[in-house]
Amino acid sequence: MTATTNKDLVRTAWNAVSNGDSDTFLGALADDVTWTFFGSHRFAGTFRGKDELLAKLFGPLGEILEDGIQVTINSMTAEDDRVVIECKGKARAKSGLDYNNDYCIVIECGGGKIRHVREYLDSELVTSVFGR
């Protein structure tokens, strides 16, 4: 795939997140995807595969957030199989707390799927909204 098609794949996936379209988002991920969060918060570490992502990340997010996360991509850069996005997320927890985080996400694509994700965000904000 080209850098342009990888950018299109990533844009489609993150737009699906904003639209609550989990089927499209999950369809963009490789079955054995890895997703690593850096920092010191409840989700820090690496999730392996879609099943683990659903159980340990997306499940808890859905339990705590009112309506998912609206993601605005502010910039996107691609070279070969790597796409880097800087984006802003906007959400509200059921507790009433705002969860408006800034992200830098490094995505590696292969075979028309997202294979590896490395995500950098505000750890303190994650902890204040989602707990330890």
Residues of the chain with pLDDT under 70: none
What is the value of pTM for the model shown? 0.94
Q: In whole angstroms, what is the distance from residue 128 CA to residue 132 CA?
A: 8
Collapsing DSSP to helix, strand or coil, 117 comes out as strand
Over the stretch 3-27, which tens digit does the pLDDT of each residue have? 999 999 999 999 999 999 999 999 9
Q: What is the pLDDT of residue 126?
A: 95
Domains of the chain: residue spans and CATH: 3-130 (3.10.450.50)
CB atoms within 10 A of CB 76: 17
Q: Give the SS3 label for residue 13.
A: helix
In total, the chain counts a number of residues equal to 132
Q: Which two tokens stand for residue 12?
A: 């489609």
46: Cα within 13 Å, side-chain hemisphere:
9
